[in-house]
Amino acid sequence: MLVAIIIMYYFVIAHYLCTLMNTSIGTDVGLAATLLSAGELVAIPTETVYGLAANALDPNAVLRIYETKGRPSFNPLIVHVHDAGEFEKYASEVPVLVKELAAKFSPGPLTFVLPKKEIVPDIVTGGGNTVALRVPGHPLTIQLLKALDCPLAAPSANPFGYISPVLAEHVAEQLGGKIAYILDGGPSMIGVESTVITIEDNKIIVLRVGGVPVEDLRATGAEVELRVNQSSNPKSPGQLKSHYAPRIPLVMGDVNVTTAAFPEKKVAALVFFEKNFASNIIAEEVLSPSGDLKEAASNLFGALRRLDKSGADLIVAEHFPNYGFGMAINDRLERAAYTEKS
Ligand code: TXA
Ligand code: MG
């Protein structure tokens, strides 16, 4: 009875606040917790990108994530917890190698795909028998997870297929009015999504390159295998070829050569450290003037959004060096460039 009254109380308060606010942005962890406990959606800051969070144990709340993003329901979600010690609550098996990696990289941009326990609803895992678990490296979201008695399912807080948000304002631009609250934790410092791994025969299988570079995984001494494209990787159905895409077309290649190939087009250029000066370049983003790939990754999605709004006909992005954070940058750009016809 008492529980029912408490739930009702949360529900009424949350709905009242939502109507009042119409998706406000703020730093109120208590409010975010109240809304999430009442089954509402809240955008949360992480060190990688902003997430669109719901109570991971409430199938109705999780269903609203898919509806709000327009995301296909076969694409499973990451479950966020405040400490790697929590993995055992949701995974039926936590290999020693996962514990070692978590001790080194969690909280941080590393997601572990593990066999799931019954308690995790099917809608979170796309009906599959594994669950993706991560401890996000952001103090506000850790505080929020500690205040809740449930983990949070959260994909990136963008409409399906579009560029991931790295600022609270990016979330507001696209999901404002559709969700209860945006918890503002400032800019996402890493700027690309987490690296997703699973373990097979004591080997690390990388399902998505991201915020923990592959070299850092290899440096642990473990064997590492990349399985990052869709055909080699039915386990990570989210690795769709076309993703992270701006609204205007994006082409990859040497900026001068590619720009010269489209003399009649207004071009927006995305480059690593060196500016280009072709006369039809109307906007240009240099991701790291000092040539630092980590800095470049942190600037990638913000720059893509600005170029998308620049009034150009086409974005031309150069290939980045394919190591360290450059691998995640190239992966995102290649998916942004992909169209069904190409
Ligand atoms: O950095 C991140 O990972 C961000 C923040 C918010 O945590 N989240 C994120 O979520 O990027 P999302 O939904 O945009 O990407 C999750 C990725 C997808 O590629 C999905 O297919 C994969 O993780 N994934 C989730 N559960 C999986 C599972 N059980 N097996 C294999 N892959 C899984
Ligand atoms: Mg995403």
Any idea where the domains of the chain sit in the sequence? 2-226, 250-337
Closest listed ligand to the CA of 210:
1
Assign domain 2-226 one CATH number from 3.90.870.10, 3.40.50.300, 3.50.50.60, 1.10.1660.10. 3.90.870.10
pLDDT at 266: 97
Atom of ligand 1 nearest to the CA of 75: 21
At 17-42, the pLDDT tens digits run 444 447 899 999 999 999 999 999 99
- Residue list, ligand 1 pocket, CB within 6 Å: 46, 48-49, 51, 75-78, 109, 111, 113, 125, 128, 130-132, 134, 136, 154-156, 193-194, 196, 207-208, 235-239
Asked whether 324 and 211 are in contact (CB, 8 A), the reply is no
| Pocket mutation for ligand 1, best pick of 111, 167, 205 (most atoms within 8 Å of C-beta) | 111
Q: Which helix (H) or strand (E) holds 16?
A: helix 2-21
Interval 323-338 mean pLDDT: 96
Mean per-residue pLDDT, 104-133: 98
Output the CA angle 111-115-117, nearest 5 degrees. 110
Which residue among 77, 78, 135 is best mutated to probe the pocket of ligand 1, counting the most ligand atoms within 8 A of its Cβ? 78
Distance 158 CA to ligand 2 centre (A): 7
Our mutation pick for probing the ligand 1 site, out of 113, 162, 193, counting the most ligand atoms within 8 A of Cβ, is: 193
Section 287-300 average pLDDT = 98
**What's the 16 CA to ligand 2 centre distance in angstroms?**
30
Burial (CB count within 10 angstroms: exposed 0-12, middle 13-18, buried 19+), residue 220: middle
pLDDT at res. 333:
97
**pLDDT of 20:** 44
Q: Which pLDDT belongs to residue 73?
A: 85
Interval 72-90: pLDDT, tens: 888 999 999 999 999 999 9
Strand partners, 54: 153
- Closest-lying ligand to the alpha carbon of 76? 1
Average pLDDT over residues 106-121: 98
Q: What value does the mean pLDDT take over residues 170-183? A: 97
Q: What angle do CA 89, 95, 101 make, to 5 degrees?
A: 95
Paired sense of beta strands 314-317 and 110-115, if any: unpaired
* pLDDT higher than threshold 90 for residue 16: no
CB under 5 Å of ion ligand 2: residues: 156
Residue 154 CA to ligand 2 center (angstroms) comes to: 9
Q: What is the pLDDT of residue 277?
A: 80
The predicted pLDDT at position 245 comes to 85
CATH number of this structure's domain 250-337, picked from the four choices 3.30.360.10, 3.40.50.720, 3.10.129.10, 3.40.50.11030: 3.40.50.11030
Over residues 143-156, the mean pLDDT reads 98
What CA–CA distance (Å, rounded) separates 283 from 267?
A: 7
Which ligand lies nearest to the CA atom of residue 240 in the structure? 1
pLDDT band at 276 (very low <50, low <70, confident <90, very high): confident
**Nearest residue by C-alpha to atom 15 in ligand 1:** 155
pLDDT band at 314; cut points 50, 70, 90: very high
Q: What is the pLDDT of residues 244-274, one digit of tens each?
A: 789 999 999 999 999 999 999 999 999 999 9
**How buried is 253 (Cβ within 10 angstroms: 0-12 exposed, 13-18 middle, 19+ buried)?**
middle
